[in-house]
């Protein structure tokens, strides 16, 4: 269970998140809303890149807001970014090792874990490829491998399907659906692709202008008139990459 309580973030006078609350119990949950709704901001607070003005994020009894960002990763938080953040001058393997480096455990276990994560994400064949030589899909797959490595408890994907073809998006969706079986982690996905969200997310939170518009089972939420109203705008201002 991921429980977000009363989360509030301000940038100067702007309230980017306004007392957001939701209890995600599904294995894969969605976070949607128009551009600038506060989705990425939510993930940034959970990651610890931004300080919450107020509120808590409690997962398995731990209040993440109280931990330093790198401690959250040690605890079991993983995330990908809207604009992927694979280090160009490292190989895929090194990008994965960069996470296990900071976790406890024996070297052999870490290596086995890395192989397993790579296998799952389908990047075994490109483990020795340099980050700069990866194409968009390979980057996304590497992101998935990064997220499932090292016994994660909670994983967040920020627009993972951005820039992917429909076939690639489908494959990515399947991968995300398999994460909980592999690791037991709860997954939170932001995406503009409502079809993808509908297919993989059992529960969804909808934000607009930093406020909670709706929360509940995805199919119900998407039928909500308030949600449909909020989404009218998105057709005209499609998200950048």
Partner 1 sequence: MRSTTNTIWAVFGLALILVLPAFAGGQWIKIFTSTTTFAMAAAGAGFLYTRLGMVSLVQVGLMGVGGWVTLRLNHAFNFPFEINLMVAGAVTMFLGNLIALPALRMRGLYLALITLMFAAGLDIVFTAKQFPNGAAGFWGVGTTFAADMRRPLLAQSDAAYLRYTMVWLVIGFVLIELHRRMAPGRAWALIRKSEAAALASGVNVTLYKTWAFGLSGLLAGLGGGLLAGSLGLLDSATFRASESVMLFALVIVGGARFWYGAVIAAVLFRVVPGLLNNWGVDADLSLVIFGAALLHAVMTAPDGLAGQINGAVRALIPGAKSDKKGAKA
Ligand X SMILES: Nc1ncnc2c1ncn2[C@@H]1O[C@H](COP(=O)(O)OP(=O)(O)O)[C@@H](O)[C@H]1O
Contact 38, 22 (CB under 8 A): no
Q: Answer yes or no whether residue 223 interacts with partner 1 by CB under 8 A.
A: no
Q: In this structure, is the dihedral angle defined by the CA atoms of residues 232, 79, 119 and 150, taken in order, positive or negative? A: negative
What string marks each residue from 31 to 50 as x (binds partner 1 by CB under 8 A) or -? ----------------xxx-
Contact 175, 120 (CB under 8 A): yes
List the beta bridge partners of residue 23. Answer: 3
Q: Answer yes or no whether residue 51 interacts with partner 1 by CB under 8 A.
A: no
Of residues 118 through 147, those in contact with partner 1 by CB under 8 A are: 130, 132, 146
Q: Which one of the spans 39-47, 181-189, 209-217, 218-226 is the region binding Mg ion (CB under 5 A)?
A: 39-47
Q: In this structure, is the dihedral angle defined by the CA atoms of residues 63, 69, 71 and 74, taken in order, positive or negative? A: positive
What string marks each residue from 79 to 118 as x (binds partner 1 by CB under 8 A) or -? x-x---xxxxxx---xx-xxx-xxx---------------
Chain position carrying tokens 């079986």: 181
List the beta bridge partners of residue 54. Answer: 8
Q: Which of 26, 41, 78, 222 binds partner 1 (CB under 8 A)?
A: 78
Q: Answer yes or no whether residue 40 interacts with Mg ion by CB under 5 A.
A: yes
Compute the C-alpha angle 138/144/148, nearest 5°: 145
Tokens of 77: 């938080």
Q: Which of 74, 124, 136, 180 binds partner 1 (CB under 8 A)?
A: 74
Cα–chain center distance at 91:
22
**Cβ at position 157, least distance to ligand X in Å:** 13
Q: Which of 4, 14, 10, 3 is nearest to 53 (CA)?
A: 10
Q: Answer yes or no whether residue 37 interacts with ligand X by CB under 6 A.
A: yes
Q: Answer yes or no whether residue 39 interacts with ligand X by CB under 6 A.
A: yes
Partner from partner 1, ligand X, Mg ion, none binding residue 48, C-beta < 5-8 Å depending on class: partner 1
**Cβ at position 200, least distance to ligand X in Å:** 19
| Distance between CA atoms of residues 178 and 54, nearest Å | 34
Question: Which residue ranges make up the site for partner 1 (CB under 8 A)?
Answer: 47-49, 69-70, 73-74, 78-79, 81, 85-90, 94-95, 97-99, 101-103, 130, 132, 146
Query: Interface residues with Mg ion (CB under 5 A)?
Result: 40
């Amino acid at each position: 269970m991921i429980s977000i309580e009363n989360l509030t973030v301000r940038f100067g006078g702007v309230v980017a998140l306004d007392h957001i609350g939701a209890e995600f119990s599904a294995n894969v949950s969605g976070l949607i809303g128009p551009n600038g709704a506060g989705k990425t901001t939510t993930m940034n607070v959970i990651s610890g890149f931004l300080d919450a003005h107020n509120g808590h994020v409690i997962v398995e009894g731990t209040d993440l807001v109280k931990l330093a960002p790198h401690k959250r990763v040690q605890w079991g938080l993983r995330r990908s970014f809207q604009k992927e953040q694979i280090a160009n001058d490292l190989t895929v393997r090194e990008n994965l090792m960069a996470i296990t480096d900071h976790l406890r455990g024996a070297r052999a276990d870490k290596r086995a874990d890395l192989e397993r994560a790579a296998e799952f994400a389908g990047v075994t064949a490109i483990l020795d490829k340099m980050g700069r030589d990866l194409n968009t899909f390979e980057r996304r797959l590497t992101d998935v491998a990064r997220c499932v490595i090292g016994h994660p408890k909670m994983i967040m994907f920020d627009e993972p399907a951005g820039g992917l073809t429909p076939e690639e998006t489908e494959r990515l969706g399947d991968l995300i659906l398999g994460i909980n079986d592999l690791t037991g982690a709860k997954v939170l996905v932001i995406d503009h692709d409502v079809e993808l969200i509908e297919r993989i997310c059992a529960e969804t939170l909808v934000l607009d202008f930093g406020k909670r518009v709706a929360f509940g089972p995805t199919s119900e939420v998407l039928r909500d008139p308030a949600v449909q109203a909020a989404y009218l705008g998105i057709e005209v201002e499609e998200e950048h990459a």
